[in-house]
Structure formats: C-alpha cells, structure tokens
Amino acid sequence: MQKNKIIYIVLFIAMAIGFWCFENYYGTDFSSQDYDHFDTSELPFEASYLPSTTFNEIILHDHYMLSYSEPYEQAEWVAYQLKRRHLTNDDRKRPYFIEDPKVRTVSADWRNYKGSGYDRGHLCPAGDRRFSIEAYNETFYTSNIAPQNREFNAGIWNRLEIQTRKWCRAYGDLYIITGGILKSNLTEIGYEDVDVPNEFYKLVFRFNNEQLQYVAFVIPNQPSNNPLKNYVVTIDELEAKSGLDFFYKKPQQWQSKVESHITLKNWKF
C-alpha cells in the first residue's frame, strides 16, 4: 500500500511538471508586433502586406498566421496564401478542435460553442488546406474559429469561400486576410465569454503585372441570399469598420491611391 502511494505521488509530480513545461515553453516565442523578426521566406504570407495588430500576439503556423485577441477569445485576423496547387479534393477526416498551444494564454476551448446555437466557423477554411494532413489539421486550432450563425456559415460565407477558390483557379495565387469585426458590446458565449461578431470580413488580393488588385467584403453574421457583390467595400471602409490598418507598411501615397476605390472588373463573379 505504501509503495503504491509513493508511485502515485511521483506520477502526480511528473504530470504537474509536464503541464508546467507545456504552459510555459510550448510556442510562447511567437508573439510580437514587429513582423520583421520572422524569416519572411518561411511566412505563409507576403509580410509587407500584413495588417496592423491591436493585441500584440502574432501566431505563426506552417500554413497560415494570425493576430490573436485574448479579450475577444478569437483572431482579429487570419492571413494566408492560396495557391492553385493547394486546390485539391483530397478526402480528409475531420479532427477534433483543439486549443492553440502557440497562443500565450491558450485559445478558447471549443466547448464554449457547445449548446450556444453558433457554429465553430473557420477563418482559414479547412477546404483551402486539403493538400496535406498537417495543413488540414492545423485549421482546427480554436484560434482559427469564431462564432458564426449556422445559416450564415453554411450559406453566404461558404459561397464566398467557394468563389475565392474559383478566383484562385482562374487568376492564380491569392492572398487572403479574414476575421470578425471585433468591437465592444458584442454577444458572448461560453464560460470564457467568446464574443460573437456581428459582421465578418474577407480581403482577397493578387498581383497582376506587379499591380495589386483586391476585392473586400463585410458581411453581416446572419442568413442572406443576396449576391456577394452587395457586400463589397473599399479597404478604407473595411478599416473604418474593423479598426485595423491594412497594408500599413506601404507608403501613405500608395495607400491613398489603392484603398479608396473598388475595381470589380478585375474579379469575375
């Protein structure tokens, strides 16, 4: 009996040490407001076109990156590149959602969504990352999801994701930045008070003869059968809604020229 008691004590101490090491060392060196410390050749995105960050926690994964908001318990933006070669129909088994170990405070538990009536809506879609098991599974970190109305998620948001893949097939490599519009007094769900955005945005851009061409959307988090074109906005409008500064590393003159107008002829719906 005494021997068993000693074994249990040793196991308990070992587990405690293991949890402490995980919490304090696993992935905690990925947070910074200055993107320049990253090796840009390894980024899943063009570094000079990243948006600003409000909460100073940038997380770099192999196939996307994000700015995590602890107050809202979700990403304020997720950025990734979509290449033609990424567009596969590989059948992948959906894994469980898990907390993101690279987030300092650990991202919100998926159980916050349970019984809430909201979907665990992907920001970087799993459908854009079917080309490898690792890339697909990576999209199931809870840092990459936000509460979405079920009909919105399965409806107009899904239509926009499908349209983005069509554009990738037609035009080639795309860059995508997406997230919920995070602001005060939002509905909250779960024991960690995960905020429910009233609107979601997606910015898609590409380069044509080194000229940046973009299309941006802000869509209410509710069912809609309206055409996607109804929700197109300028980057200036997106910045006003989100409080983020897109392309903030570019010269002000460049931003003024690019961000104030929409050219839909570059994007076939």
Which pLDDT tens digit goes with each residue over 251-261?
999 999 999 99
The answer to whether the Cα torsion of 101, 29, 76, 165 is positive or negative is negative
Judged against a pLDDT cut of 60, whether residue 99 lies above it is answered with: yes
- Give the pLDDT confidence score for residue 235 in this predicted structure: 97
**∠ at Cα 178 (175, 180), nearest 5°?**
175
- Give the pLDDT confidence score for residue 47 in this predicted structure: 75
Judged against a pLDDT cut of 90, whether residue 114 lies above it is answered with: yes
Judged against a pLDDT cut of 90, whether residue 48 lies above it is answered with: no
Q: Over range 17-44, report the average pLDDT.
A: 42
**DSSP symbols for 124-185:** S-GGG-TT-HHHHHHTTBGGGEEEEEHHHHHTHHHHHHHHHHHHHHHH--EEEEEEE---SS
Nearest 5°: phi and psi at 252?
-60, -40
- Give the residue extent of every domain in the chain: 1-29, 31-266
Judged against a pLDDT cut of 70, whether residue 210 lies above it is answered with: yes
Cα–Cα separations (whole angstroms), residue 107 to 25, 140, 163, 212: 16, 12, 29, 33
Judged against a pLDDT cut of 80, whether residue 44 lies above it is answered with: no
Q: Which of 37, 61, 122, 261 is catalytic?
A: 122
Q: Over range 234-252, report the average pLDDT.
A: 95
Kindly give, in sequence order, each residue whose CB lies less than 8 Å from that of residue 231, ignoring residues fewer than 6 positions away: 217, 218, 219
The answer to whether the Cα torsion of 170, 245, 106, 112 is positive or negative is negative
Q: Over range 214-225, report the average pLDDT.
A: 98
- Label residue 77 left, alpha or beta by phi (over 0 means left) and psi (-120 to 50 means alpha): beta
- Give the pLDDT confidence score for residue 12 in this predicted structure: 54
Residue entry with tokens 């997380």: 59
What percentage of the chain reaches a pLDDT higher than 70? Answer: 83
Task: State the pLDDT confidence band at 3, using cuts at 50, 70 and 90.
Answer: low
Active site residue 122: yes
Task: State the pLDDT confidence band at 203, using cuts at 50, 70 and 90.
Answer: very high
Chain mean pLDDT for the chain: 87
Q: Quick one: which of 243, 168, 245, 231 has its CA closest to 204? A: 168
Q: Contacts for 207-211 with beta carbons within 8 Å, 24 or more apart?
A: 208/171, 208/266
Architecture in CATH of 31-266: 3-Layer(aba) Sandwich (3.40)
Q: Over range 77-103, report the average pLDDT.
A: 94
Kindly give, in sequence order, each residue whose CB lies less than 8 Å from that of residue 219, ignoring residues fewer than 6 positions away: 152, 156, 157, 160, 199, 200, 201, 202, 231
Q: Which stretch of 36-45, 103-112, 212-221 has the lowest confidence by average pLDDT?
A: 36-45
Q: Over range 37-47, report the average pLDDT.
A: 53
CA end-to-end distance (rounded Å), the chain: 73
pTM: 0.84
Task: State the pLDDT confidence band at 187, using cuts at 50, 70 and 90.
Answer: very high
Judged against a pLDDT cut of 60, whether residue 4 lies above it is answered with: no
- Give the pLDDT confidence score for residue 37 in this predicted structure: 42
Judged against a pLDDT cut of 90, whether residue 239 lies above it is answered with: yes
